[in-house]
Structure 1
């Protein structure tokens, strides 16, 4: 039974009109976009659940903070406020600002990864994997098996399997592993959290072998909330305290502030090692800008600092995760196959179960999200074989066990009626799914992160 909709801990002060389109208009738009929702224009989308990154609504306090942004090229006071805020809430003493999270990944990868290195992690994320592979690294997925099972209702599907981790270390040697790259939450598994107990076990293994642990902290606040709700002994702790506990078990973090921190742009790399920080600052001035702004305006750093303070408030994170659960449970009640348990930032549809008649090489998830847009005007994103890319050696498609469609909910942006409309549209498509008799094939395939700019055509001439 669907959960009660959470009361939003805010009221609306400004509104933005959204487009309302017909199915015929959406069919034309889908054709122009090559059946890739990434290539749709925003004014062709009614409810946009493509991502929760940079699409959040900022608060009045964030907008006010932007007015005192210090735009000094060197030594901006806004940088020092951000540095202090990150140190207080995340615990990293060395801060390198970047224009967004993948820039931090790029700088960290260039500092630490060399050809022949092996990097274990709890499932890949596309941009992270690209950066480590472009620097010659080889990724090893050491997440628990249940993470690859959509129906497995396990509270911490983001956990690392210690046996898998030990096996990788034994096979390649600790000297060839520059870091463990740990995600909290795990996006590609359905927004699933890692437990504090498991992260502590990873830390112990890392310490034994002298390997640093790097955290993808973009949604670590959501992970902290799940720990509070699901992990024994954590219920009476604050989200801020748990977040700091997570970070204290790591040596550094990459951060896209466009997620938990409510910002529209920005990110950072936080580390403990002064020598690593100095190397990173040498690269940030090459790729991003001066090390005290790193590709961001002072006003953006002010907005992020305020957003960090707001992100750990219990009422904010409770309502945020509650919205996602509300949508997910409405779909589950209607029989739509959804990854369980519901994740922190998005509802993930099990495209393989919804379209079992579509072969993997016709990309069921890409097919499904195109069809959902056509029927409902809702934009999501594929998280399956298209996102996984091709094997760097054989050129064959990667076919991950999970073939998913992600419906990511921006923070403080949509209301209950919007989510009810999304649910109705997805359920309508689910009831029409037998009309989808063929999938999609590439007509243009970029070599890197192909899901952003690829173009497709229906194998059978039309989707629906």
Structure 2
């Protein structure tokens, strides 16, 4: 039988749905009441008040039947559990570091690492620090310095690796300050605060070379490592025929360690780790782990969590899964572009970012345009997203406030949870919102905490 080749236009999920969770559809009046009661802070909403939850991709994914099967065979021993050794073996196989320190999630790894290496007066550079990373650094008296390339600060610019760190500025910093004031270099892959943009292998390699030149440890924030590897494969010359795991192994080979929230590309609902090569630092970190997380062979995780992560780290490297995930988010970007909604281009791996500063130019930065857009998205369509703007990053260590570098609304997609019909609904809601954006007004903060204020702050609407 001679048939022409079939090239499908329909994007289908590379999985079958084995179990379902019903959505509760709310009315506009219910959402208005709920948001007001929550102090106009989407973090303070109950999940039952949300139709589509894009607040975060952290720990919100659907686990596979293989992960659930592994969880049933877990070892919950306090010390030396078999589940830990399977978890450790997976991390070492993919990432290659000598020491694996389990934690309850990524911020546990950040707390341990920065408590051991950062002190007052230090400077820790990164392409862009995300919220908890910055908070842990500043909590130890150090400065979290963003050195993303200038192209990464232009949302409309289409380039393959806008998450890269500025190598010239990095070397200038190290030449001026040296290891005495720079205890480590970080690189977040993909660059969450900068629109989910990837970092090239060449940039990672050169960062590692600069770190070695100045004898400064180099760590990756690796929570979305698999997505970054996929972008390297599809966008960077020389990696077209490499497997995702081969790319991952090379990427980690240039670093001295990593922190990871396994709630992202570990495809688990909880868990994380700190991995590193330095024996002396590892000993100090394990001592800190015993104090704040738990015994070194479980940290903050149960045995079944370690089993889920051990399998999830490999599942996240599946090329068909990555291709679908990234293409799905790109398809939403295409729909929004047709509706003339400004977004960060090109679309990232785990999320789509709307440029609220451009969409709502009539709202002043310190009246929080991205926060306003986030709340409007919930009111209109029951969609919960997160602001990455002046609420999240405007508060300075000395208590003053200044506008953030960008005003973005992040739509972060849980892994293996939503289908293409959900994507179409999100596009419809945003299109409708864009058509009436002039009626939106800003917010003022009524109450806030001095650290990570966006999680708990309460607001008043200025309309």
Q: Normalised by the shorter chain, which TM-score bucket?
A: over 0.9
Counterpart for residue 449 of structure 2 = 446
Query: Residues 105-162 of structure 1, C-alpha deviation per residue, up to 9 Å, x if partnerless?
Result: 0000011111111111101211001111111111221110111111111110111111
Q: Distance in 1 between matches of 2:91 and 2:21?
A: 31
1:152 is aligned to: 157
Partner Cα separation in structure 2 for residue 237 and residue 319 of structure 1: 18
User: Quick one: distance in 1 between partners of 2:314 and 2:229?
Assistant: 15
Q: 2:26 matched to 1:21?
A: yes
Provide the residue aligned with 1:208 in structure 2.
213
Query: What does residue 344 of structure 2 align with?
Result: 339
Farther-moved stretch of structure 1 (169-178 vs 110-119): 169-178
Distance 1:139 1:297 in 2: 32
The answer as to whether partners of 1:389 and 1:450 remain within 8 angstroms in 2 is no
Native 8 Å contact 2:71 2:308 kept in 1: yes
The whole-number CA distance in structure 1 between the counterparts of 2:29 and 2:228 is 41
After superposition, residues 132-171 of structure 1 pair within 5 angstroms as 132-171=137-176
Instruction: Name 2:421's counterpart in structure 1.
Output: 417
1:321 aligns with one of 326, 348, 351: 326
> Structure 1 272/424 Cα, relative in aligned 2: closer, same or farther at 3 Å?
same
Equivalent position of 1:398 in the other structure = 402
- Determine the C-alpha separation between the residues in 2 that align with 1:354 and 1:197: 34
Displacement of 1:4 in angstroms is 4.8
Match of residue 432 from structure 2 = 428
Check if 1:111 corresponds to 2:116.
yes
Tell me which residue corresponds to 1:267: 272
Q: Match for residue 58 of structure 1?
A: 63
Distance 2:274 2:323 in 1: 27
Cα distance between partner residues in 2 of 1:305 and 1:51:
22
Question: What RMSD in Å do the two structures reach over aligned CA positions?
Answer: 1.1
CA distance in 2, matches of 1:432, 1:29: 22
- 1:225-304 mapped onto 2 (5 Å cutoff): 225-304=230-309
349, 369, 375: which one aligns with 1:370:
375
Aligned pairs (5 A) from 1:16-95: 16-95=21-100
Q: Distance in 1 between matches of 2:200 and 2:348?
A: 14
Q: For the residues of structure 1 that align with 2:125 and 2:10, how far apart are their CA atoms?
A: 38
Contact 1:381 1:406 in 2 (8 A): yes
Q: Distance in 2 between matches of 1:293 and 1:386?
A: 35
> How far apart are residue 7 of structure 1 and its match?
2.1
Give the 3-state SS of the residue equivalent to 1:341 in structure 2. coil
Note the C-alpha offset of 1:295. Answer: 0.9
Q: Distance in 1 between matches of 2:209 and 2:90?
A: 28
Which of the residues 208, 211, 223 maps onto 2:228?
223
Deviation of 1:341 after TM superposition, in Å, equals 0.6
Displacement of 1:326 in angstroms is: 1.5
The number of residues matched between the two structures is 456
Residue 4 of structure 2 corresponds to which residue in structure 1? Answer: none
* Unpaired runs of at least 5, structure 2: 1-7
* Structure 1 residues 4 and 370: CA distance shift in structure 2, 3 A: farther
How far residue 172 of structure 1 moved from its aligned partner, in angstroms, is: 2.6
Q: State how far apart, in whole Å, the 1-side matches of 2:387 and 2:147 are.
A: 23
1:166 shift after superposition: 2.0
Partner SS state of residue 215, structure 1: strand
Pairwise CA distance, 1:396 = 2.0
* C-alpha distance after superposition, 1:143-191 (max 9, x if no partner): 1011111111111011111111122223333321100011000001110
Q: 8 Å contact 1:4–1:326 — kept in the other structure?
A: no
Give, in whole Å, the separation in 1 of the partners of 2:97 and 2:45: 39
Of 183, 186, 199, which residue of structure 1 is paired with 2:204? 199
CA distance in 1, matches of 2:100, 2:240: 31
Asked whether the 8 Å contact 1:158–1:194 carries over to 2, the reply is yes
TM-score, length-scaled by structure 2: 0.97
